Chains A and B, each alone.
Chain A
Amino acid sequence: MVNRPEIIVEARNLAYHYPGEEATSFPALSGINVAVYRGEYLALIGPNGSGKTTLLKLFNALLVPSDGEVRVEGVSTIDEVEIPRIRRICGMIFQNPDNQLVATTVEEDIAFGLENLALPSAEIRQRVGEVARMLNLEHLLQQPPHLLSGGEKQRVAIAGVLAMQPGCILMDEPTAMLDTASRRDVNDMVRMLRQNHNIAVVHVTHFPEEAAFAERVIVLNQGRLVRQGPPKAVLTDLSLLHSLGLQSTAASELAALLREDGFELPSQLLHNRELVDSLCSLELKS
């Protein structure tokens, strides 16, 4: 039992079909077995409609399984009374930064989840202050959300989840609607979270470069888990990714083309730096 990482969220033989969609060719999710460990950074990729969002909603108890079960810290999401606790442990960030901020000021928005937990006011203010300091949002506390940039809005949303002291943050394409600089901001923040606070992150993304930073990548297709493993293994399996209409990182794709042309490059290149280094060492050899 020593050193065995603790499981935060676990799906066992999970299946889900949306009401009224039973007749369609495949259910939104079926036969999913997956565990999220404490402090882990997990990337979830897959083509459109593969069930990524559905899986996150099941983790957060926004949806209840049609078959199998989801356990959050050992508690099944079917258990109505446990739902507030489950939602505190598994916070969720959505794609559109505009449509998840509720309150008229940043500080009240960060406080929203805590208010729902019915914490004492003094504690709410203290936690909001702490989180704002941690995420560098202090200067924005009194601002109304509509004056923030997209990246700032996403950081406020993350702050709102973080204030609830979660074990796991579920992020559904949080950077899809952001510009490059804001995307980097949000990604830096995500990495900081798991390093400094041991919070697990499940990151749904269409950017292979983001998935490459995860510790583990899960690939969904048509509601089934088709592959999981470290990014070095999954994201370099180009035949699988391409067959699903997905892409790997620019470096990995480029390396594959170079290999076709006879360059002797290692097969597990993901980051630009690695590609450049390998190319340079080739140069030196010849």
Chain B
Amino acid sequence: MSRSITLGQYLPGESLIHRLNPRMKILALLLFLILLFSLKTYGGLTALFFIALGMIAVAKVPFRYFLRGLKPILYIVVFALIIYLFFTKGGVVLLRIGFITVESEGVREGIFVIARLFTLILFSLLVTLTTTPLSLTYGMSYFLKPLRYFGLPTEEVAMIMAIALRFIPTLMEESQRLMRAQVARGADFETGSIFRKAKSLVPLIVPLFVSAFRRADELALAMEARGYRLGARRTRMYEDLIAPRDWAVLSFILVLFSAALAFGL
């Protein structure tokens, strides 16, 4: 059962996209999003959509993972579509129900916005599906580094996140064990009002907290015993190197930017 506990959405793989430097992936995602929001024509959007599909193919991530990721935003899509259809005016009147009209400009813009949203999510999923949560954490902490000058201990924050990632499965296992122990004693977590359910969780949460604090204590000691010191310089087993492929991706994005500018997409 513990094997079914997976963190984030990472799918292991060996593709070019998987092997990109996480810092570069985050930067690329950011640039793609900027590009996406500066595009004004259907042509440009379609091109970018196909680029996203191409990258998904390179990453060899089955498309159903993307569909699953798109599901939660379905409500937003419907809502946005309704707003655009009924409230954006201009062009030819396509439909008239009493004083409410749907006009061609509304349809055009509604579909444009939704297509942009889909593409945005494809790009973000591409990053989270091909990067381990740990690499993502370290990648993001790199961009937060300037905050160190304002007194934020970014290295330590990254360490905290990494340790949290390490202990989430352990604590989840523990909570399941506690839950089973309570069920064996006749506890009921399934039925009753939300209030009752919440109440039945109390005998679970208290021991879980106690054990988490004990763990934290012991872990801090073990880290200290192994030479960890706050603020001391550390190295990493895997250097965070920017490879030629990372530069290639960056140049590719810059080419896209200039194309978008040159052709007014």
A91 to B226, CA, bound (A): 7
Q: Are A103 and B235 in contact (CB under 8 A)?
A: no
Report whether over half of chain A's contact residues are helix, strand or loop; otherwise say mixed. helix
A117 to B229, CA, bound (A): 10
- With an 8 Å Cβ cutoff, the count of chain A residues facing the other chain is 40
Decide: A94 and B3 in contact? CB cutoff 8 A: no
Contacts of B225 in A (CB 8 A): 60, 62, 87, 91-92, 94
A104 touches B236 (CB 8 A): no
Is A219 part of the contact surface with B, judged by Cβ < 8 Å?
A: no
B162 lies within 8 A of A104 (CB) = yes
Q: State whether A121 touches B166 (Cβ < 8 A).
A: no
Query: B35 to nearest A CB, angstroms?
Result: 33
A160 x B226 contact (CB < 8 A): yes
Which positions in B face A, CB cutoff 8 Å?
2-3, 5, 132, 134, 162-163, 165-166, 169-170, 173, 214-215, 218-219, 221-229, 232-239
Q: From B219, B226, B237, give the contact of A161 (CB < 8 A).
A: B226
Name the distance in Å between A180's Cβ and chain B's nearest Cβ: 22
Residues of B near A99 (CB, < 8 A) are 214-215, 218-219, 222
Q: Which residue of B lies closest to A110 (CB)?
A: B237
Chain B binding surface, main DSSP class:
helix
The complex places the Cα of A14 from the Cα of B237 at a distance, in Å, of 38
Say yes or no: A100 contacts B222, CB within 8 Å.
yes
What are the residues of chain B within 8 A of A118 when measuring CB–CB? 232-235
The answer for the CA separation of A62 and B235 in the assembled complex, in Å, is: 23
Interface string of A71-115 (1 = CB under 8 A from B): 000000000000110011001101010111111100110011111
Cβ-defined partner of B170 (8 Å) among A103, A146, A161: A146
- Is the C-beta of A3 less than 8 angstroms from some C-beta in chain B? no
Q: How far is the CB of A225 from chain B (nearest CB, A)?
A: 23
Do A84 and B229 touch (CB < 8 A)?
A: yes
Q: Are B170 and A98 in contact (CB under 8 A)?
A: yes
**Chain A residues within 8 Å of B218, by CB:** 94, 96, 99-100
**A71-B233 Cα distance, complex, nearest whole Å:** 26
Beta-carbon contact of A113 and B226 below 8 Å? yes
Bound CA–CA A92/B223 (angstroms): 10
Q: Which residues of A contact B (CB under 8 A)?
A: 60, 62, 83-84, 87-88, 91-92, 94, 96, 98-104, 107-108, 111-121, 124-125, 128, 144-147, 160-161, 164
A149 to chain B, nearest CB (A): 12
- In Å, the complex CA distance between A267 and B75 comes to 82
Is A115 a contact of B166 with CB atoms below 8 Å?
Answer: no
Which residues from B are CB-within-8-Å of A91? 225-226
B229: A residues at CB distance < 8 A: 83-84, 116
Distance, CA A124 to CA B218, complexed state (A):
25
Whether A115 lies near B215 (C-beta < 8 A) is no
A62 CB contacts on chain B under 8 angstroms: 221, 224-225
Q: Are A102 and B227 in contact (CB under 8 A)?
A: no
Q: In the complex, what's the smallest C-beta–C-beta distance from B225 to chain A, in angstroms?
A: 4
On whether the beta carbons of B235 and A102 are closer than 8 Å, the reply is no
Contact B227 A113 (CB under 8 A): yes
Assembly CA distance A260 to B169 (angstroms): 54
User: For the complex, what is the distance from the CA of A114 to the CA of B236, rounded to whole Å?
Assistant: 9
By a CB distance below 8 angstroms, the chain B residues around A102 are: 163, 166, 219, 222-223, 226
Contact B227 A84 (CB under 8 A): yes
Residues on A with beta carbons closer than 8 Å to the beta carbon of B165: 104
Whether A87 lies near B162 (C-beta < 8 A) is no
User: CB-CB < 8 A to B163: which residues of A?
Assistant: 102
Given contacts A94-B221, A102-B223, contact A114 B215 (CB under 8 A): no
Chain B residues within an 8 Å CB radius of A103? 162, 166
Instruction: Report the minimal beta-carbon distance from A40 to chain B, rounded to whole angstroms.
Output: 21
